[in-house]
Structure 1
């Protein structure tokens, strides 16, 4: 095989999204492009497992703490802080911090969230969730999270911020997830009811709202 033929083959594989070429570093097999689904109100890890991925969760923090002011206004203080890193396809891909309102957080603070779903654990504790509002925006990876995700500062990411409400419209969980952009794409199923997408005039923000 000539050098020109090899370059053409690599270019074709790159165009097909099967490999990634990084200047000065080499050529790598492209990571799987998995879906972050906007429709169902459930755990991200459950979505990934349904797509055939084995998901590993590492819990970094699980304790009652004082949330940042915007979360404290919403949930009160203190609240249960749950910090996790999700890994799949052989690498960390999602950093997630979930704040749970204290009365509900006290019911679930002893759960093993390395294996348990937050939503299912809340349900088992008698806390029914009804809807969530979520904002997803593009961003770049900041230094404080680069080590957790084993990626360079400035790497493209999605930032998801979600508020989950109980049946009586009480805010239960405030969640922030930082997702490596090269590992995930966003998909939505549009229907006459159940999910609406609002595109903001501000650069590339998507605000999905679940209808009560």
Structure 2
């Protein structure tokens, strides 16, 4: 095994084992290279690999730090947001900011149809107590108008009422927090974000939920699993390009 991979494996084990906690600074590169008995070039290869793996953050002029862990937003599963993150071992809580029957706006009505009723559900998702996602969902019908969705997945709530989720279509694009989202997520306006629009369909292929979410880019990353018979990924040029 090349020396840089040996160093990367050793430092990676210390990070994952908690010996080097998130936010802690690594010793200076000259000191590290001497302790491992390698050149600076070899050490830097190891640090670059760990940075690519999301374990380190190299900050010019400041040093090298253990990266804060990021939650993964998976595109290859049909689960609710909180379900997905809890399955990864994250502590997720939900604040309900609004839940009422109303007429869907144009973007949601384009999928659900313009005839009310529909439930507007606005939620703030917190990871380990820190705001990470702002979500507005429009749900066909009024059955969930009074449901307690603070600790229950929306998909599970639908299933409990005999409504099966069959598939979902989602588009995710890069963006930045506007002032309203920045206030809710406690970040400066302009902070990097993912903007998601998802439509969930039932067995009859009618849209059940039209959902928009603003996902804080500094706390989340997107991951997919690809296989010959698995996830299909397509690329589309932005209309703004």
User: Does the alignment reach a TM-score above 0.5?
Assistant: yes
- Residue by residue over 1:52-88, the C-alpha shift from the partner in whole angstroms, topping out at 9 and shown as x without a partner, is 1111100000001222112123213341000000001
How far is 1:89 from its partner? Answer: 2.9
User: Which fold has the larger relative contact order, with Cα–Cα distance below 8 Å and residues 6 or more apart in sequence?
Assistant: 1
Contact 1:108–1:125 under 8 Å retained in 2: no
Tell me how far apart the structure 2 counterparts of residues 67 and 195 of structure 1 sit (CA, whole Å): 31
Which of these two proteins has the greater Rg computed from alpha carbons?
2
Q: Which structure carries more strand by proportion?
A: 1
Question: Equivalent residue for 2:108?
Answer: 71
Does 2:140 correspond to 1:111?
no
TM-score, length basis structure 2: 0.71
- 8 Å CA contact 1:20–1:30 kept in 2: the answer is no
The aligned residue for residue 38 of structure 1 is 75
Question: Is the 2:58–2:65 contact (alpha carbons within 8 Å) kept by the matching residues of 1?
Answer: yes
CA distance in 2, matches of 1:22, 1:63: 49
Q: Which residue is 2:172 aligned to?
A: 136
* Secondary structure at the counterpart of residue 159 of structure 2: helix
Indicate which of 98, 112, 123 corresponds to 1:84.
123
1:7 CA drift (Å): 6.2
Equivalent residue number for residue 197 of structure 1? 233
Kindly report the root-mean-square deviation, in angstroms, between the aligned alpha carbons of the 2 structures: 2.8
1:145-199, Cα deviation, whole Å (9 max, x unpaired): 1111001100000011000111111011001111111111111112344531111
Distance 2:107 2:213 in 1: 16
**1:158 has 2:194 as partner:** yes
Structure 2, unmatched stretches of 5+, are: 1-25, 32-43
Match of 1:210 in 2: none
Deviation at 1:47, TM superposition (A): 1.1
CA distance in 1 between counterparts of 2:98 and 2:177 reads 20
How many residue pairs match? The answer is 193
Distance 2:204 2:228 in 1: 24
Structure-1 residue corresponding to 2:140:
101
Query: Which segments of 5 or more consecutive residues in structure 1 lack a partner in the other structure?
Result: 205-212
